[in-house]
Amino acid sequence: MTERTTPTLGEATRREAPDIPAPLAALVAEFEGLARAQRMEQLIAWADEFVGVPAEVARAPHPESARAARCESEAYVFAVDNPDGTLAFHFAVGSLHALSAKAWAVILARTCSGQPLEQVANVPEETIYRVFGRELSMGKEQGLAGMLDLVKHAARSRLAARRVSRALEPN
């Protein structure tokens, strides 16, 4: 049995000016070098770190508007505004065996929270395959994409609100 390792975010850096959040870009780069078994071990380690949404952010029953579409694991996404204009992401996952959803929730929370909204809104769905591997089933990918959609939607809606605010500002 492979020894489990502590998940890391790698050497995230903003110097490369990635078009997705730097911590996520670093994590993707790490995962792309892993063999399947190592990838599974890493994802399980991430899933083991999952903690549900704090009670001060949201309490069950959660609204349908926060529920990730197509996710059979009943994943809910919550975005909290940070003072610096970025977002902090929290997740609830209802299914007992939702290991992939839990791993993805931890990854998104740690790599997209506090990051520039333009970059969060720009994360491509392809990222899911780069993290989970090409063998991911269509149904599973669709569920994880539903979670990502809500993260990106939260970022986009804040960006849109900013644009409206700027447009309404007196010259």
Partner 1 sequence: MTDVAATMSEIRERGYAHPEVLVSTDWVAEHLNDPNLRIIESNEDPLIYPWGHVPGAVQVDWAADLNDPVRRDYLQRTAFEELMSRIGVSNDTTVVFYGDKNNWWACYAFWVFQLFGHTHARVMDGGRVKWEKEGRPLTREVTTPARSKYRARERDDTKIRAFRDEVLRHLKGHLPLVDVRSPQEFTGERTHMPEYPQEGVLRGGHIPGAQNVPWGKAVRLEDGSFKAADALRQIYEKEAGLRPTDEIVTYCRIGERSSHTWFVLTYLLGYPRVRNYDGSWTEWGNSVGLPIERP
Residues that bind partner 1 (CB under 8 A): 1, 37, 40-41, 43-44, 47, 69-70, 72, 96-100, 103, 125, 135-140, 142, 145-146, 149, 153
Q: Is 60 helix (H, G, I), strand (E, B) or coil?
A: coil
Nearer to partner 1, 100 or 113 (CB): 100
What distance in Å separates the CA atoms of residue 163 and residue 153, rounded to the nearest whole number?
A: 15
With b for 16 or more beta-carbon neighbours within 10 A and e for fewer, the 52-67 pattern comes to: bbeeeebeeebeeebb
Nearer to partner 1, 13 or 137 (CB): 137
Query: With contact defined as beta carbons under 8 Å apart, do 31 and 130 qualify?
Result: yes
Nearer to partner 1, 22 or 123 (CB): 123
The dihedral over CA atoms of 10, 15, 19, 22, expressed in degrees to the nearest 10, equals 20
Q: Closest Cα partner for 130 from 120, 117, 145?
A: 145
Query: With contact defined as beta carbons under 8 Å apart, do 48 and 105 qualify?
Result: no
At its nearest, how many Å lie between partner 1 and the CB of residue 44? 5
At its nearest, how many Å lie between partner 1 and the CB of residue 13? 29
At its nearest, how many Å lie between partner 1 and the CB of residue 155? 14
At its nearest, how many Å lie between partner 1 and the CB of residue 137? 5
Nearer to partner 1, 97 or 166 (CB): 97
Nearer to partner 1, 22 or 31 (CB): 31
At its nearest, how many Å lie between partner 1 and the CB of residue 42? 10
